[in-house]
Structure 1
Amino acid sequence: MQTLLLNSADVSENAQMPDVIDAIEDAFRAYERGDAQMPAKSYIDLPEYAGDFRSMPAYLDAGDWDAAGIKWVNVHTENPEKHDLPTVMGTMIYSDPKNAFPLAIMDGTELTMKRTGAAAAVATDHLAVADATSLGIVGAGVQAYTQLEAIAKVRDIQEVVISDLDEERVARFIEAFEDQFDVRAGTPGEAAACDVLSTVTPVEDPIINREDVGEHTHINAMGADAEGKHEIADEVLLDATLVIDDHEQCTHSGEINVPYHAGTLTDEDIYGEIGQIVTGKKAGRTEETGFSVFDSTGLAIQDVAAARVVYEHADENDNGYPFDLLGLSEE
């Protein structure tokens, strides 16, 4: 039996976005039904190296398929300067649930970008106005690309407003998409006036204010993944139809973590979890919804679901590098 090694290019090629979006929605649905196991994300703090490790294991049974795996990811803030390495790197081990055989070891960084975009697309599909044609993105880093790629699969996006303090990153983003969309640079406020907004920054001081947000804008708050991070002003969160991906993670390290621990925002201000919406237990957008916010921290079930898509396509297409990890092949 062979384990498939898949680098970032392999993951990108085989993480076909429509399939990843469907898989992420299946994962949210399984989690809500109780057909998933997802222990809390664990951390190993390494202050001497200005970094940490995070482990994210999960198993889910989507009905027609099941999957298991673990993502091992880091955040080392001094990597680019000191080691010429990315700040964040991830490795995904994807296993066969029936016998635990490691089917694939794949780049988790590209996988994270794809599944994060797909999660925003699932929320957008259920919470944005049906005729949405404009998308604002605040933060022009790597996550911005998959936000546009994925959201454009569920809405007819024509106009894109990209905002970032780094003009070079904005220019690269515009160049990448100018042949497909009417894309231009703008302020965070201009981005927030679009039909859909995705925020993908690491800020701790909110950059989206109440007066910025359109009357029916849907916001994907994707940037907050640690205590203290906070992209969206409290007034926006309190006035919005607020949807989260997981209560424990969101209150600990999601967009709502700061106002929640301050007591400004309580459980009564949370409309529900995305799993409740995709299963139909709670309604998505209605005529009374107004503007909405999806607080996404990123769940291990998403990584496992996306890894399954990548593995299945890579196996079909003979991509990647098969090797005998366990030494079980006959001589």
Structure 2
Amino acid sequence: MDTLLLNQDAVDENTQMDEVIRAVEDAFAAYALGNAQMPAKSYIDLPQYNGDFRSMPAYMEADDWDAAGIKWVNVHPNNPDDFDLPTVMGTMVYSDPENAFPLAIMDGTELTMKRTGAAAAVATDHLAVEDATSLGIVGAGVQSYTQLEAIAEVRPIEEVVVSDLDEEAVAKFIDYFDDDFDVRAGSIAEAASCDVLSTVTPVETPIVSREDVGEHTHINAMGADAEGKHELADEILLDSKLVIDDHAQTTHSGEINVPYHEGVLADDDIDAELGDIVVGESEGRTETDGVSVFDSTGLAIQDVAAAHVVYEHADENDNGYPFDLIGSNVE
């Protein structure tokens, strides 16, 4: 039996975004219902290289499928300048839960982008106004693309405002989507006044103020993934319907980590975990809700769910490279 090697292009080709959104929603449900195992994300800090490694194992059961795997991912900010490598690289090992056979080794960087967009889409579907047609994006890096691709699957997005200090990145983003959406560059305030806002930056000082945000804007806070990162003003978090993906991760390294540890924000200020909303244990958007925020740190069950979709499509697309990883001398 062969293991399938799937590079970035293969992961991209095998990712049907609507299916990934449904699979990631299944993952949130499985977690809320106790049908998932997800040990805490572990870190190996490498200050001598200005970087770190993170390991993210998980297992989940959906209605008619289950999946297991582990993602090994790094964050090395010096990579682009020093080594001509991406800041973030990931490798996903996707295994058969029944017998532990490694079904596939796949590019985890592309997979992360897809599942991150899908997670924002799930949150948007439950928390944004039904007739949301405008999307603001702060940060025009690689993660911004799947934010638009995924959110457009759950809301009829027409207008997109993208804001970034890097004018070249903004121009590249606009050129990529210009045929499908009314995309324009704008200020942070213009982006934040849209029906939906996704923030995908690595900043440690908030860049979105309370005054910037529209009366009923839903915000996907996607950028914070380490201690000290913080994109939104504390007033936004305190005034909003605040939904998180996982308490341990968000208080450690999510958007709320700074105000939480400073005592500005407490557990009583958190309205729900997204999984509880998905399964109906907590309410999504109601008629009385104003601003809502989804604090996303990225969960290993999302990677496993997305990897399931990628692997299931690999045969029909006839891509990837099969190889004999385990060998024939099995006792």
2:67 and 2:76 mapped to 1: Cα distance?
29
1:73 and 1:305 mapped to 2: Cα distance?
17
CA deviation after TM superposition for structure 1 residue 328, in Å: 2.4
Q: How far does the alpha carbon of each residue in 1:255-279 deviate from its partner, in whole angstroms, 9 at most, with x for none?
A: 0000000000000000000001000
Q: Does 1:21 align with 2:24?
A: no
Secondary structure of 2:93 counterpart: strand
Provide the residue aligned with 2:192 in structure 1.
Answer: 192
Give 1:1-331 correspondences, 5 Å limit.
1-328=1-328
CA deviation after TM superposition for structure 1 residue 63, in Å: 2.3
Q: How far does the alpha carbon of each residue in 1:297-325 deviate from its partner, in whole angstroms, 9 at most, with x for none?
A: 00000000000000000122221111111
Secondary structure of 1:303 counterpart: helix
Secondary structure of 1:71 counterpart: strand
Secondary structure of 1:294 counterpart: strand
Q: How far does the alpha carbon of each residue in 1:178-212 deviate from its partner, in whole angstroms, 9 at most, with x for none?
A: 11111000011100000000000000111111111
2:71 and 2:282 mapped to 1: Cα distance?
30
Letter in 1 for 2:197: L
Question: TM-score with structure 1 length normalisation?
Answer: 0.99
Letter in 2 for 1:252: H
RMSD over aligned CA atoms reads: 0.9
1:323 and 1:150 mapped to 2: Cα distance?
32
Secondary structure of 1:56 counterpart: strand
Letter in 1 for 2:167: E
1:329 and 1:196 mapped to 2: Cα distance?
55
Q: How far does the alpha carbon of each residue in 1:69-88 deviate from its partner, in whole angstroms, 9 at most, with x for none?
A: 00000011111111111111
2:132 and 2:76 mapped to 1: Cα distance?
38
2:58 and 2:101 mapped to 1: Cα distance?
15
CA deviation after TM superposition for structure 1 residue 329, in Å: 8.4
Q: How far does the alpha carbon of each residue in 1:125-158 deviate from its partner, in whole angstroms, 9 at most, with x for none?
A: 0000000000000000000000000000000000
Structure 1 unaligned blocks of 5 or more: none
1:82 and 1:285 mapped to 2: Cα distance?
46
Q: How far does the alpha carbon of each residue in 1:95-150 deviate from its partner, in whole angstroms, 9 at most, with x for none?
A: 00000000000000000000000000000000000000000000000000000000
Secondary structure of 1:162 counterpart: strand
CA deviation after TM superposition for structure 1 residue 326, in Å: 0.8
Letter in 2 for 1:19: E
**Which 10-residue stretch deviates more, 31-40 or 315-324?**
315-324
Aligned residues: 330
Identity of aligned residues (%): 78
Secondary structure of 1:88 counterpart: coil
**Which 10-residue stretch deviates more, 100-109 or 75-84?**
75-84
1:109 and 1:11 mapped to 2: Cα distance?
9
Secondary structure of 2:283 counterpart: coil
Secondary structure of 2:89 counterpart: strand
